[in-house]
Amino acid sequence: MRVTHYSRLSKVIIDVPADRHDAEVAFWGDALGVELTRFERFPEYHGVDLPGGFGLLTQLLGVGPARVHLDIHTSDRSAEVARLSRLGATLVDDGEHWATMRDPAGLVFCVIPDSGVDASNAAEWPN
């Protein structure tokens, strides 16, 4: 039996310091003609699903400069973290809800478990 998992690039996240967050949410909503709504479970995020199954989020930062990071959604978080580590990424934080990693250039991205990721919408990888 061949064991596999699935993953896909799912979201772009704009990380924004508190003093500019509200303006950033308003800007991207107006720029895309959509409303970015606050997440109840994670109130530091505002987001919207865009056509094509892709999402945009803003994240209120506690500290640090504005930046952009990507989210990879996967059917198996530990298998995807291991796969990306073999490709040269490093694990920064294996948190409760997602794993934070850095790519070989040092850029941050997150790996997030998602039960909706499967053969119909993502790439298949051997475990």
Boundaries of domain holding 20 = 4-126
Q: What's residue 62's pLDDT?
A: 83
Euclidean distance between CA atoms 91 and 79, whole angstroms? 13
Euclidean distance between CA atoms 37 and 49, whole angstroms? 10
Which among 105, 112, 107 is positioned nearest to 15, based on CA atoms? 107
Tally of domains in the chain: 1
Strand partners, 113: 74
Give the tens place of pLDDT for each residue, 31-65. 999 999 999 988 999 999 998 888 999 999 988 89
Low-confidence ranges of the chain (pLDDT < 70): 1-2
Cβ contact 101:90 at 8 Å: yes
User: How far is the CA of 58 from the CAs of 16, 61, 111, in angstroms?
Assistant: 7, 9, 17
Q: What's residue 2's pLDDT?
A: 66
Q: What's residue 106's pLDDT?
A: 96
Q: What's residue 1's pLDDT?
A: 60
User: 27 is written with which tokens?
Assistant: 């800007």
Give the CATH number, domain containing residue 30. Answer: 3.10.180.10
Which among 10, 20, 5 is positioned nearest to 70, based on CA atoms? 10
The pTM of this model reads: 0.89
Q: What's residue 124's pLDDT?
A: 96
* Distance linking the first and last C-alpha atoms of the chain: 11
Which among 74, 107, 118, 11 is positioned nearest to 82, based on CA atoms? 74
